[in-house]
Every structure is written in C-alpha cells, then in structure tokens.
Amino acid sequence: MDEAGKLLKQMLGLKTIHDTVEVIRCYKLLYKYGLSFTEEGLRRMLTLVFSKDPQVATAVIETY
C-alpha cells in the first residue's frame, strides 16, 4: 500500500485535470478507510486549492 501512496502523491502533480480530480476523489475514499499514507497526500493536496482550474479547486474543497 505504501507504493500505491507514493504513486498517488506523484499523480497529484499531473497536468491532466481529469486525472488530478480522480486522484483527489481517490484520496477522499481511502482516507475514510483509515489508510495511513493518505494524511500526507491530503496535506499536499491543500496547495491545489489555488489551482487555476476551477474543477481541481472545487474537488479539493469538496474533499475537505
């Protein structure tokens, strides 16, 4: 699971909007199941609130 966490963190930086939104949704679901690696990813996700794309910013806001 740690390898999956590393991959998801890398995917947060993708340029494709749809992929980034899906990773955010994935983090939201995995956090509900209590996986430990999600906390770091959620902190990293906070910077995406200031994204130029409104879909990404909205997805982050909905997650929190």
Predicted local confidence at residue 40, as pLDDT: 85
Q: Tell me the C-alpha distance between 19 and 11, whole Å.
A: 8
Predicted local confidence at residue 16, as pLDDT: 87
The single-letter DSSP state of residue 35 is: -
**Could you tell me the pTM of the whole model?**
0.81
- Amino acid identity at 39: E
pLDDT in tens, 4-55: 788 888 888 888 889 899 999 988 888 888 888 888 888 888 888 888 888 8
Query: For residues 17-43, b (16+ Cβ closer than 10 Å) or e, as one string?
Result: eeebbebbeebbebeeeebebbeebbe
Strand ranges (E), the chain: none
